[in-house]
Amino acid sequence: MSEKKEKILRRMTIAELRSYKGFEKYTDEEVQATIKSLEKLSMLFYELYMKQKHSQSKIKQLKGDNYEGEESIEQRDAA
């Protein structure tokens, strides 16, 4: 039986963001707004990644689920 490892999500701290070059002199408000923007951007990238992953699995499934006697898309295109 395989165990699922739960990932613990945590928010970047003000001190963490300020440790990066260019963010040292940001005010607390600027840091909080930047962190919020980074969170939104990371969620957008994750959603895009999951959509692409889902699309690729559908394509693989379609390519592998040919009925007997039918040629695959690659076989048809090669002919």
Q: What is the pLDDT of residue 56?
A: 81
Nearest to 10 by CA among 37, 47, 45, 35: 35
Most confidently predicted of 1-5, 7-11, 20-24, 65-69: 20-24
Q: For residue range 62-77, list pLDDT tens digits in order.
A: 777 554 445 555 555 6
Report whether pLDDT(39) > 80: yes
Global pTM exceeds 0.85: no
| Res 38 pLDDT > 90 | yes
For residues 78 and 36, which has the higher predicted lDDT (pLDDT)?
A: 36
Q: How far, in Å, CA of 60 to CA of 56, rounded?
A: 6
Residues 6+ apart with CB under 8 A from 54: none
Nearest alpha-carbon partner for 63 in 77, 49, 52, 47: 77
- CA-based nearest residue to 34, from 8, 16, 7, 9: 16
